[in-house]
Structure 1
């Protein structure tokens, strides 16, 4: 049976001290109480060394879809869940150091290091992970991977097997690390939504087959308005990812129950939501981000003839409103067509008789024709249905609306 994370790290520090690698102060062992402070490695100075955390995965780990990723020239400003999780862990008293070969974030990102590789599949991560782990030796791995595999149509069962093998590969490289395996964020449109959902059903069994240091973090409830485009969260979705990871790490490292209780982003009632809107400009496809403040508010609708009120996310916008307008009595001019007898004078007309052109006299006569003329009519006072555009609340998902054009 594997020891707990705290016990493993304490044992590792003690072994290093026995070899003279660490200068452990007298009484340090007695002072090491169970909980977060005991669950971190000890540095050569005798102080607790930062817990090295490696965010590992694809563009969602990289932070695509967050505000920074929409920088006009580069995605080096992408952040995603990482800065928020870093600050939450620091506020909990856990000294962390994010590690990885990638560095991206905004100017105020506290620690931009990560291993988020946009567009990568599980096999591509597996081909490089041994080198990354040997270089950075993380104590914690936050793994979110598989989105590109299933969105590219790869077999779900085989993708699940590759995920399992990747976890085993990480464990072989890092026998004492805590590995947090995340169920994937939802897809925004089909076929991504159903493929990702199918893959997510296989992940709990994969994690359950591993040792006690492999933990499941469920990100599969993040979708819909929390997604910027077809696959990536927006700045409403990434805080949810950070919250779920914080709660997952709390279960491992907060044995004393001292970590702050975070405000649950799933309970938010207002948010600034941004979505990718594709468009054609000068015969080429481009896009822009459409952002608005949204509110979770009561909405009354008519269902089967009854008014039903339920809460829904809506944003301010222009809506069409039906109303009955009073129209006063007035005269108007209308075209009126009526059948009328018309006198036609006698005349010669050309015709063909037995193959020869000849002129034939047509007698004068009356014939019925349709004649159209303008008449003035009185329109009585009445009410009529009309539609007007007014300020109101809009419920549509802008990304899905644009995708359907």
Structure 2
């Protein structure tokens, strides 16, 4: 497919009203998936880039442009969350809520605000229910909006399931209550589906599975299964109408990159979606993902240093603790999860030791079978058993 695409049209820009057939077809296909599988007929237009970071920079600019065109130039601030990852370019790096990525880069930008990480397992108060915790997180966002002034808040950005921050599912009712809050205050909701999109969670899009109605969606990674660098910013008809109606005065949206809408990327995106559909990989990710999570919980869930097994579809995680009762976490420098991940690799299981939290994440291929899952869990369990004495030593140091 790549060779045919290169032979047909190796490259052409999409500036000045030009485009190319593969990228037009990919835009139609992506919008069709949102309309048909995610209950999102309000999403209307797609801008293509080459990575998740530049897509979130695009979103950053579009939000400002949208409000300037509406005569609301004070609406500039964007709320993100601590622990969030949205890229490492200047604007996207500001939206990322991990301080080490800001250090010595003069980040975040002053118009980016960060609210608390909604990590129930780690940050809930004693005896606090998941619903109550979610309400407390929403109340914090509401208080931040009141403090800054709703007329200054342009948007809120969030991953439906926080990835680098720990594979964190939202607390019950969290996003639904936030969306009502944003609707009241004329605040756009940006859903960063760079990781969760295209079947990873057992849904084509996590926003569809969670019944969310974002104004903008960020896509990358799974759109071509990383065979070619493509990203997308998908915007609502509400936003597009403002941009279109202002064009007689302001002209076209003056934004783009050399590789925006690359025809080879468009062709590979189409083939990738064909394969996901033809092989039923979204459903397979849902079914095998549930089975994998069940096996992990069964094999290692009662381990003395495993605090929680969590996730959705083929986006799963294990969080480690130094003690379960009372709950204590390992010292950050102990890198207990890295010890487990390194040993698992020796046993032939590739996991990711997340950079700033004691979590091993699991992101297997969407075509993983039940027998693959069984073998992976058995090997991972043996690796965990092998390093348990060292984990016990590190736990004693954390006491």
* Band the TM-score falls in, shorter-chain normalisation: 0.3 to 0.5
Which has the bigger relative contact order, CA under 8 A and spacing at least 6? Answer: 2
Higher-Rg member (1/2): 1
Higher helix share: 2
Higher strand share: 1
